[in-house]
Amino acid sequence: MPELPEVETARLCLERWARGRQVRGVLVRERRVVAKGGPPLAKLVGARFVGFDRRGKHLLIGLHAKGKPLGLWSHLGMSGKWLRRKTGEEPPRFSRVQIDLSGGVTLHYADLRLFGRLRLVPGAAFEKLPAVAALGPDPLHEGVDPDRLGERLQRSRKAVKPQLLDQRLAAGVGNIQASEALFRAGIDPRRPGRSLARAELARLARGIRASIDYSLADLRKQIGATGGRDVQYVEEPAGPNPFRVYDRANEPCPRCRRGTITRLIQDARSTFFCPRCQK
Ligand SMILES: [Zn+2]
């Protein structure tokens, strides 16, 4: 499932592929991926791509339409991807929306499971979308502040791992990054978030940032960010599991070597951790 690093990578690709290009045509193949409430996507025709922002897992794309700002909001849900093809080329599998651009470039929003959503935002006023307005600080833009994290964790009795999935804490952290960050911080995911001491909060804040930076570097290697417009999004995940603990149940702990990575279910989501060195 796309988390901050994957969405940031999608942002980078879209910027390389679409910056300065004008929309020539829009084809919606599956209406379910268009969120209700916005103008029809056909309003994109004639607009030019100018800005490529991200906040947490939300893509906030800016266009100019007849001299006025227009926003394209995109959330990738469980399996959404932005892909590039030459105009006229066969669409990729699960292409739900196709946007033809000047210069012979076509963007496809592909989504197997149909949980992702797109929406046009008049005036590019993204802050008016409740899901965007509710987001906490973005770890890449604003860092992770241990004091603020501690203050937020105090507000619930839940275990720290499910708490980290709350997008008001550190926007963009999902199930993978939460397990990875807690492993890096040496904190047991079952502990109540409110029990974390100051030094542990500082370690967790560093762990979140380090885990995201690591994933970003790994994805950048995969897409071959060689510059220019040649960057290609990796369409099918390949290569070995890059994570320290995620999806590594029953393997030896890569840090203490004596513990065994254990999988447990918290709030219906998998958590991976080392019971020996995460206290
Ligand atoms: Zn360990």
Distance 277 CA to ligand 1 centre (A): 4
Taking only the tens place, the pLDDT of each residue in 114-146 is: 999 999 999 999 999 999 999 999 999 999 999
Is the pLDDT at 245 greater than 60? The verdict is yes
- Spatial separation of the C-alpha atoms in residues 133 and 77, rounded to whole Å: 18
- Spatial separation of the C-alpha atoms in residues 177 and 164, rounded to whole Å: 9
The percent of residues in the chain predicted with pLDDT above 90, rounded, is 91
Catalytic annotation, residues:
2-3, 57, 269
Range 100-106 average pLDDT: 97
CA atoms within 13 A of residue 243's CA, in its CB half-sphere: 22
Distance 245 CA to ligand 1 centre (A): 10
Taking only the tens place, the pLDDT of each residue in 142-182 is: 999 999 999 999 999 999 999 999 999 999 999 999 999 99
Distance 213 CA to ligand 1 centre (A): 21
Burial label for 85, CB within 10 Å (0-12, 13-18, 19+), is: middle
- Give the residue among 135, 150, 136, 261 at the shortest CA–CA distance from 199: 150
The residues near 6 (Cβ < 8 Å, ≥ 6 apart) are 76, 215, 219
Distance 155 CA to ligand 1 centre (A): 29
- Spatial separation of the C-alpha atoms in residues 126 and 138, rounded to whole Å: 15
Distance 256 CA to ligand 1 centre (A): 4
pLDDT: is 236 or 244 the higher one?
244
Distance 241 CA to ligand 1 centre (A): 18
SS3 of 29-40 = CCHHHECCCCCC
Contact 137, 169 (CB under 8 A): no
What SS3 class is residue 180? helix
- Spatial separation of the C-alpha atoms in residues 236 and 223, rounded to whole Å: 11
Q: What is the pLDDT of residue 231?
A: 63
Nearest-10 crossing angle of helices 198-223, 4-18: 40
Contact 168, 133 (CB under 8 A): no
Q: What is the mean pLDDT of the chain?
A: 95
Return the beta strands (E) in the chain as ranges.
23-28, 48-55, 58-65, 68-75, 80-86, 95-101, 105-111, 117-122, 262-266, 269-273
Q: What is the pLDDT of residue 228?
A: 47
Q: What is the pLDDT of residue 35?
A: 97
pTM of model > 0.75: yes
Distance 188 CA to ligand 1 centre (A): 11
- Band (pLDDT 50/70/90 cuts) for residue 220 is confident
Distance 183 CA to ligand 1 centre (A): 8
